[in-house]
Structure 1
């Protein structure tokens, strides 16, 4: 069992990591997410912050840049209605995607407005949606099992896209948060 610690991330630390648009709300949301989803060991936090850093361009993007049409009619994502692909494209600092995942997230948060789609989730829950994705994909266990940045990247990305940057982000997080 991994040892847990009450690690709180500060705005200064996020800025030192290179994150943009850092404000009090963002920092509170991050710390609530870390607590809610038990991202509370050094390994879990390092992987979570390095992966979200890469996926979001250090906070520049809270939603997928592509239009989402590639997800249209993807039954595995629960996209069964016309327009579901763009409406439920990736949102948050890790791209939560698909009607099914949005519905599960809405249930988790007790917020039916999540089903309004990507714009609402990307503005309201960038950290929490990433934390929810982290939870449903068993990422804490992967971290506890000692998976490498490369192994975590494959889980998050489905491949090794941006692997060098993810390693660099991991190194930065390790130095800043010690």
Structure 2
């Protein structure tokens, strides 16, 4: 079990105590290695448990760099730049269970939570697993309880406890990120959490 003293040592707000403990209990994240890996990875993904909504405030150049097929020229990119809702509706249209750009589902189901839950199909799957309607109220995922539980659902569905048991930080990072972006920071956060939990 996490304690208030653990959270204080990790620099995390006390509001995370119950959500994290409920998540750890539900998904058998029940050893120091598993808990530390979860805290380290989620800490990286959420800028230290502070950012629970995806930042889609891209410049035109940022759009062209990130999604070159969807923003193939300056005119298209300029029409969307610095408009997060419009950007989400374009880049997430017709993907992950979302409707077309006009449906608004790209924005409605943009990334939220500690490990960003993105796309209507994922909100549906996580909600079904957790027994809560996240499709009708997706904003719940941007509050600690479901930010943690949806991350736990992702963790469990990708069998990350097994990788945490082996301290395979690279494997966990690839499962979450698709690559190894931020690996050094993820490892540093995991090691700090492990030291606190074992202290």
Match of 2:154 among 101, 108, 133: 133
Alpha-carbon shift at residue 136 of structure 1 (Å)? 1.5
The offset of 1:147, in angstroms, is 4.9
Q: Is 1:22 aligned with 2:14? A: yes
Matches within 5 A, 1:90-105: 90-105=111-126
3-state SS of 1:61 partner:
coil
Runs of 5+ consecutive residues of structure 1 not aligned to the other structure = 1-7
Q: Larger radius of gyration, structure 1 or 2? A: 2
Quick check: 1:61 aligned with 2:51?
yes
The CA RMSD measured in Å over matched residues stands at: 1.7
Instruction: Report how many residues are paired.
Output: 164
Judge conservation of contact 1:102–1:115 (CA < 8 Å) in 2.
Answer: yes
Over residues 109-134 of structure 1, what are the superposed CA-to-partner deviations in whole Å (9 max), with x where a residue is unaligned?
2222x113542221251110110111
Q: Which runs of 4+ in 1 moved over 4 A?
A: none
2:81 paired residue number: none
Match among 130, 136, 148 for residue 116 of structure 1: 136
CA separation in 2, counterparts of 1:137 and 1:90?
18
Give the structure-2-normalised TM-score.
0.76
Relative to the length of structure 1, the TM-score reads 0.84
Residues 33 and 194, structure 2, Cα contact 8 Å, conserved in 1: no
Correspondent of 2:6 among 13, 28, 52: 13
SS at match of 1:9: coil
- Corresponding position of 2:98: 79
1:118–1:15 CA distance, 2 compared to 1 (3 A): farther
Q: Tell me which residue corresponds to 2:179.
A: 159
Q: Which residue of 2 aligns with 1:3?
A: none
Q: Deviations over 1:6-52 (max 9, x none)?
A: xx112221221122x332xx211110110101111222112111000
| Structure 1 position 45 matched with structure 2 position 35 | yes
CA distance in structure 1 between the partners assigned to 2:162 and 2:8 by the alignment? 28
Cα contact 1:90–1:118 (8 A) shared by 2: no
